[in-house]
Amino acid sequence: MRAHEIDYKILGDDMQVVEITLDNGETIIAEAGAMNWMDEGIRYESKLGDGSQTEGGLAGKLFQSAKRAMTGESLFLTHFTNNSVKRQTVAFAAPYPGKIIPINLNEVNNSITCQKDAYLCSAFGTKIDITFTKRLGTGFFGGEGFILQKITGDGMVFLHAGGTVVTKQLNNEKLLVDTGCLVGFTSGIDYNIEMVGSMKSMLFGGEGIFLATLTGTGTVMLQSLPFSRLADRIIKHAPVAGGSRKGEGSILGGLGDLIGGK
């Protein structure tokens, strides 16, 4: 199945939105809840799978959706179709601050592997599947576990990542990465986990002793602020029920609580 040819533009800087323009009959598929706004000619429907499952009927779609559920994503994807004779737009945004990465699968050998929550949306005809890492150590210590998402096809796909996105081109080289900072990589890259530090480094250095290693020839995409780091910081500085709050400006913060009736 050839993917629909779509036009797009990315709006914003640190909290980006991708606005997709669809011709009559064109469809884009997206994660549930990712849509921000759309023109009145757009119609949407939640469906099992990405639409690439043409054989096997309902059982095949359920199997494909069940595999997606193993990555922690929704069983359903939302299909947005332009039913108007005029060109119509629909916009999608990531669930946390960061960047949206547009990828033309034709330019990356029709395949890209990414972390399980990096997928945002893609042109209809793109296949969204899961792939298992090959090594036991990767599953236990890799942060992403045994399961990554594999996206294949010949159209546009949009990933999202936290903070700043950095792209590295490897030419038969090796790159060591904090496991949470990996967004995705193209074919030709081998993904593994290696122990590179000591127990002392793990206990006192803050970097841990396991890093992701990416070896080979291809493209690697990295993020500067994984959502897990952001969530950890928020949790550490959140008010504790019945207790004190940690953070800057605690005197003013306490005064504000009094004024607010806390």
Domain boundaries, the chain: 7-234
Q: What's the confidence (pLDDT) of residue 87?
A: 96
212, 183 in Cβ contact below 8 A? no
252, 121 in Cβ contact below 8 A? no
Question: Looking at the DSSP assignment, which residues form a beta bridge with residue 70?
Answer: none
Q: What's the confidence (pLDDT) of residue 64?
A: 59
Under-50 pLDDT residues of the chain: 55, 136, 138, 142, 144-145, 247-252, 255-256, 258-262
For the segment 155-193, what is each residue's pLDDT rounded down to a tens digit?
A: 999 999 998 899 999 999 999 988 788 999 999 999 887
- Determine the topology of domain 7-234 in CATH: Double-stranded beta-helix (3.60.160)
Q: What's the confidence (pLDDT) of residue 210?
A: 72
Amino acid of residue 82: N
pTM comes to 0.78
Q: What's the confidence (pLDDT) of residue 260?
A: 45
Strand blocks (E) in 62-178: 76-82, 88-93, 98-104, 111-114, 119-123, 127-132, 147-152, 156-162, 165-177
